[in-house]
Chain A
């Protein structure tokens, strides 16, 4: 249905992490995602943009099968992670979610200490052999989350006592602690002030070294700042997908141009 010229020409050096083919999503009778094809690269930040209700969050949640928790949601088509179909019957969604971590719109630290928030994933998946091992994982994750210096003296204070921006970085650190391969972020900055947003964006840029990051955002400036690839969704369709610079300066589809210049959405 849709083929992007940029896809073939520019994508060269990086491996394909996630490939979606003819993905359809239904909420009851509503056809929320229509025939989406997209290839997400490893060690790249990919931004999903589009007006509210266009299906970008829904599609994001398909990538780690979070939609399974919604009873009326049905997914068709293939989504391949490293060439394996994640909707295959043999795939355990729980294992999948450990590989494809997720950060949510609103910071949602557990009502536990900062330490226990980070240690939650490693404990569940048995990633640490000893207490010292776990301590090390926690410190490493908090450093990756760019929040270590702020919380190192109060690791056993409740995570809910942090500020909004700190909470969100804590949640990112928590997701990183399970050593995922892909990190999905659903509007991670929408509940944050500009300073905290800046910190999180900086963090996302650093995370690109190790992970494939997919971020849903309402802010086009943010997409332009942090991402290398951008996908524009409209009314459940993937309208255009390509290099961020190309999408924002020279979009192919007229709908993309209208959205970026503020005429629709």
Chain B
């Protein structure tokens, strides 16, 4: 039975459990809900949750585990002479899966009967052609051991699916039964529902943390693999970035880091003053009417996808700058794509980050501070400059650092606005590129994943991750350290 059906059946069971649990509990109290420990709906929810949660957990784990288990058991059927590396084995195994899936599909479509599919032999049938007829394309003719492996796969998969159906439904029924027997008036259904909800919340939180861990680990292993193929010193201190897929690439990170840094600095130079002044205006000077209308308007900027900003850089800002600083006038600029183009547009993108966070922080400065200053005869701007901003400074620094880590991680604006040339140069009107843009270009296309040219992407990603993580931790530390100063 397919997983979707199992899921629907379990859901239906839970719904029935809710209704029955509720009515059983009510009946045990003689129809008067005041004699129950908890509200009737808690007894229903308890039965429903007991039917639903454990069985769905089993189902999810099974869905992930079954292919792994089968793969392990089928692998030895592929003759060791037919592959040399792990990579080739995994290619062969994916062929085996395709054949197995193809046979399943053929049976489903009626091109083969179930018996034919399980008795099929390489000698008598052109399997490639038969499967091609139902829309499963195979790269080469099917060898006998592969077919045997595919058949074993099919069998194990079929029996696995059967056992899965039985186990999941049994677990669901057991939970259903337990929930119903517990639906008596003295049972503390409320507390037990509370426990289940707490558990669900913990699961959600740990999933988020585990995902982060998974991302870091997957980066880490590939990075280690890269440093096995390419010396770390050359990577971190090399001043040339010249990958060539034929081999003999130079993969120095410095030009990329420089490009990232340069563009981010320009972006922050645009975003910090504008964002901060906007925040000061909105929180200190604007009337409530202006504020209620201007604040969301600024925050709209944050909702624009970065690719749109990229287009803006490519089509509007780049040509404008080229006209102003290009060969026709000053001759500083060779083309529309430059560090300045990307930096300016990225700065615009970051304005709402800085302004919105700073606005919240400035608003959090107690009114007593302002009153104290105004009461001494200070003007509004003196108050802002000498009392409000110093008091809000740690938070504002935090906001700026968060914006900086956004700038460092930005890709699309760079790809479209700054060009693709990795270069160490001081001229902001020259095309440069960043770490993120290079990660994209190293991984797109037909790269061999075992080559240093592709693996370098992970080392770049890891470096970037460490830098932005460091910035975020630093930002949080600053915010925390100075937060309670005026409380």
**12 A-B pairs, CB-CB below 8 angstroms?**
A64-B375, A71-B287, A97-B376, A102-B371, A104-B372, A108-B366, A108-B369, A110-B372, A110-B373, A110-B391, A124-B376, A124-B386
Tell me, yes or no, whether B305 is within 8 Å of chain A by CB.
no
Known interface pairs A108-B369, A120-B386. Does A174 touch B376 (Cβ–Cβ under 8 Å)?
yes
Q: Which residues of B contact A71 (CB under 8 A)?
A: 287-288
What CA separation (Å) do A71 and B486 show in the bound complex? 26
Task: Identify the interface centre among B287, B369, B376: most chain A CB within 10 Å of its CB.
Answer: B376
Q: Which residues of A contact B287 (CB under 8 A)?
A: 71
User: Which residue of A has the minimal Cβ distance to B370?
Assistant: A69
Determine, out of B61-69, B230-238, B259-267, B377-385, the stretch whose residues face the partner at the interface.
B377-385
Interface pair A66/B391, CB less than 8 Å apart: no
What CA separation (Å) do A69 and B375 show in the bound complex? 11
Task: Identify the interface centre among A104, A111, A120: most chain B CB within 10 Å of its CB.
Answer: A111
Tell me, yes or no, whether A217 is within 8 Å of chain B by CB.
no
User: Which residue of B has the minimal Cβ distance to A125?
Assistant: B377
Interface string of B474-487 (1 = CB under 8 A from A): 00000000000110
Tell me, yes or no, whether A95 is within 8 Å of chain B by CB.
yes
Tell me, yes or no, whether A213 is within 8 Å of chain B by CB.
no
Tell me, yes or no, whether A114 is within 8 Å of chain B by CB.
no
Given contacts A99-B377, A104-B368, A120-B386, 19 further A-B contacts (CB under 8 A): A64-B375, A66-B371, A69-B370, A69-B374, A71-B288, A94-B377, A94-B378, A96-B377, A97-B374, A103-B375, A108-B366, A108-B368, A108-B369, A108-B372, A111-B369, A111-B391, A120-B373, A158-B485, A160-B485
The interface size of chain B toward A, counting residues with CB under 8 Å, comes to 22
What CA separation (Å) do A109 and B391 show in the bound complex? 11
Tell me, yes or no, whether A101 is within 8 Å of chain B by CB.
yes
What CA separation (Å) do A171 and B373 show in the bound complex? 11
User: Which residue of A has the minimal Cβ distance to B484?
Assistant: A160
Q: Which residues of B contact A171 (CB under 8 A)?
A: 372
Across the A-B interface, the 8 shortest Cβ-Cβ residue pairs: A98-B377, A102-B375, A108-B368, A97-B377, A121-B376, A108-B372, A111-B486, A111-B485
Q: Which residues of A contact B142 (CB under 8 A)?
A: none
Tell me, yes or no, whether B54 is within 8 Å of chain A by CB.
no
Q: Which residues of A contact B375 (CB under 8 A)?
A: 64, 66, 97, 101-104, 175
Tell me, yes or no, whether B387 is within 8 Å of chain A by CB.
yes
Interface pair A124/B378, CB less than 8 Å apart: yes
User: Which residue of B has the minimal Cβ distance to A102?
Assistant: B375
Tell me, yes or no, whether A106 is within 8 Å of chain B by CB.
yes
Q: Which residues of A contact B387 (CB under 8 A)?
A: 110
What CA separation (Å) do A97 and B369 show in the bound complex? 15
Interface pair B377/A110, CB less than 8 Å apart: no
Known interface pairs A110-B391, A124-B377, A178-B376. Does A160 touch B371 (Cβ–Cβ under 8 Å)?
no
Of A98, A111, A160, A178, which contacts B390 at CB under 8 A?
A111
Interface pair B369/A101, CB less than 8 Å apart: no
Task: Identify the interface centre among B370, B371, B375, B391: most chain A CB within 10 Å of its CB.
Answer: B375
Q: Which residues of B contact A97 (CB under 8 A)?
A: 374-377
Interface pair A94/B369, CB less than 8 Å apart: no
Tell me, yes or no, whether A112 is within 8 Å of chain B by CB.
yes
What CA separation (Å) do A121 and B373 show in the bound complex? 8
Q: Which of B356-405 contact A (CB under 8 A)?
A: 366, 368-379, 382, 386-387, 390-391
Interface residues of A (CB under 8 A from B): 64, 66, 69, 71, 94-99, 101-104, 106, 108-112, 120-121, 124-125, 158, 160, 171, 174-175, 178
User: Which residue of B has the minimal Cβ distance to A122?
Assistant: B376
What CA separation (Å) do A69 and B383 show in the bound complex? 13
What CA separation (Å) do A95 and B371 show in the bound complex? 15
User: Which residue of B has the minimal Cβ distance to A65?
Assistant: B374
- Give the shortest distance, in Å, between B387 (CB) and chain A (any CB): 5
- Give the shortest distance, in Å, between A218 (CB) and chain B (any CB): 18
- Give the shortest distance, in Å, between A176 (CB) and chain B (any CB): 10
Interface pair A66/B374, CB less than 8 Å apart: yes
Of B371, B377, B485, which contacts A104 at CB under 8 A?
B371
Known interface pairs A120-B386, A160-B485. Does A106 touch B368 (Cβ–Cβ under 8 Å)?
yes
Interface pair A101/B376, CB less than 8 Å apart: yes
Q: Which residues of B contact A106 (CB under 8 A)?
A: 368
- Give the shortest distance, in Å, between A265 (CB) and chain B (any CB): 26
Known interface pairs A71-B287, A108-B369. Does A178 touch B391 (Cβ–Cβ under 8 Å)?
no
User: Which residue of B has the minimal Cβ distance to A107?
Assistant: B368
Interface string of B286-301 (1 = CB under 8 A from A): 0110000000000000
What CA separation (Å) do A140 and B148 show in the bound complex? 99
What CA separation (Å) do A228 and B386 show in the bound complex? 37
What CA separation (Å) do A98 and B375 show in the bound complex? 7
What CA separation (Å) do A108 and B371 show in the bound complex? 9
Known interface pairs A124-B377, A174-B376, A175-B376. Does A112 touch B371 (Cβ–Cβ under 8 Å)?
no
Q: Which residues of B contact A175 (CB under 8 A)?
A: 375-376
What CA separation (Å) do A234 and B370 show in the bound complex? 29
